[in-house]
Amino acid sequence: MKIVFAGTPEFAVPSLRAAAGKAEIVAVYTQPDRPAGRGRALTPSPVKREALARGFEVRQPETLRTAAAREALRALEPDLMVVVAYGLLLPQGILDIPRDGCWNVHASLLPRWRGAAPVQRAIEAGDTETGVCLMQMERGLDTGPVLLSQTLAIGEHETGGQLHDRLAELGAQVLADGLGLLRAGIRPVAKPQPEAGATYARKLDKAEARLDWSQPAQALANRVRAFNPWPMAEAEVAGERLRIHAAVALPAQHQAPPGTVLAAGRDGIDVACGDGALRIRTLQRAGGKAITAADYLNARRDLAAAR
């Protein structure tokens, strides 16, 4: 079985490894190298690094919408194309080339959280479970029928980064199961997605990271978890801009204006919200590293003494 794999970020790497264990990888498609870091040097994607380490041919087209792109893929004579967080839309002319079409590993229980950031949006919304779907791709955005799926519970304090890593491994497992069936001549049954329950997981924007203290504490706690490690929540606390790494919601009753520090001690810094209070447990000052609230208060004697 000849497979073309298409993926870019770290999330796709476990799936590439799984595919390599089940079939012949004839080429790996990934996004072109992008500037990164302080020096803005061109940096290969995690999938490219993994592919080169395994000796796979790597292709990095800017688009798949040209006749040349279609002919280049057709020349590989793939049985299947596996797409995992690739970052380019596949036009119908590409979807039609592999004998068995194109499969996509998506980090949600479709039709909930179609789109670019399903992991973070699930946490932000307060979902208690999510999962992975192996989907037969079609022209719509994550609208294709589901071949296989696995459910995963979201931990009460789990961050976006932690859930991302668990879903990446679960996605590789689901892909391996699907490829194993296909190799045995058993094509997974494609089940159309229901229209009810469809939601869209829009791409993360750094502007979303600023916390609005007028919102309910639980909504802010969910956002802190979802946006760790990126873009990382930030807020004005006692006159200082801080990045918030970990926080929990408290059902506190108060009459204080949102943003007021209600208490500050070893357990954290409690800030008044529109409903309840947010207890900040781990934070980061500008130019510093992540520290506990207790360590922060050692440097803010004025705040600790006042509260």
As its CATH architecture, domain 2-201 has: 3-Layer(aba) Sandwich (3.40)
So what's the pLDDT on residue 302? 80
The fold for domain 206-306 equals Methionyl-tRNA Fmet Formyltransferase; Chain A, domain 2 (3.10.25)
- Binding-site residues for (6S)-5,6,7,8-tetrahydrofolate, in ranges, read 108-111
So what's the pLDDT on residue 39? 83
Query: Going residue by residue through the chain (307 aa), what tens digit of pLDDT does each one get?
Result: 999 999 999 999 999 999 999 999 999 999 999 998 888 899 999 999 999 999 999 999 999 999 999 999 999 999 999 999 999 989 999 999 999 999 999 999 999 999 999 999 999 999 999 999 999 999 889 999 999 999 999 999 999 999 999 999 999 999 999 999 999 999 999 999 998 999 999 999 999 999 999 999 999 999 999 999 999 999 999 999 999 999 999 999 999 999 999 999 999 999 999 999 999 999 999 999 999 999 999 988 788 665 5
Q: How far apart are CA 7 and CA 18, in angstroms?
A: 13
So what's the pLDDT on residue 40? 87
- Binding-site residues, in ranges, read 108-111
So what's the pLDDT on residue 250? 97
Q: What's the Cα-to-Cα distance from 17 to each of 80, 137, 204, rounded to whole Å?
A: 16, 21, 27
So what's the pLDDT on residue 306? 56
Is residue 56 a contact partner of residue 30, using CB atoms and an 8 Å limit? Answer: no
Beta-bridged to residue 114, according to DSSP, are 200
Q: How far apart are CA 275 and CA 258, in angstroms?
A: 9
Q: What's the Cα-to-Cα distance from 170 to each of 2, 25, 49, 113, 222, rounded to whole Å?
A: 23, 21, 21, 17, 23
What's the gap between Cα 132 and its chain centre? 12
Helices marked H in the chain — which ranges?
Answer: 13-20, 46-53, 67-74, 92-95, 118-124, 160-183, 217-226, 293-299, 301-306
So what's the pLDDT on residue 124? 98
pTM for the full model?
0.95
Q: Do domains 2-201 and 206-306 have the same CATH topology?
A: no
Q: Where are the domains of the chain?
A: 2-201, 206-306
So what's the pLDDT on residue 116? 95
Is residue 225 a contact partner of residue 233, using CB atoms and an 8 Å limit? Answer: no
Q: How far apart are CA 240 and CA 38, in angstroms?
A: 25
Q: Which residue has the tokens 């949102």?
A: 258
Residues 201, 175, 80, 82: is their CA dihedral positive or negative?
positive
Geometric angle at alpha carbon 238, from 232 and 240, rounded to 5°: 50
Please tell me whether the peptide bond between 231 and the residue prior to it is cis, using omega within 30 degrees of 0: yes
Is residue 248 a contact partner of residue 281, using CB atoms and an 8 Å limit? Answer: yes
DSSP string spanning 166-223?
HHHHHHHHHHHHHHHHHHTT-PPPPBPPPSTT--EEPPP-GGGGB--TTSBHHHHHHH
Q: Is 302 exposed, middle or buried (0-12, 13-18, 19+ CB in 10 A)?
A: exposed
Query: Residue-wise over 20-56: b if at least 16 C-beta within 10 A, else e?
Result: bebbebbbbbbbeeeeeeeeeeeebbbbbebbeeeeb
Cβ within 8 Å of residue 120, ≥6 positions away: 160, 201, 204, 226, 227
So what's the pLDDT on residue 247? 98
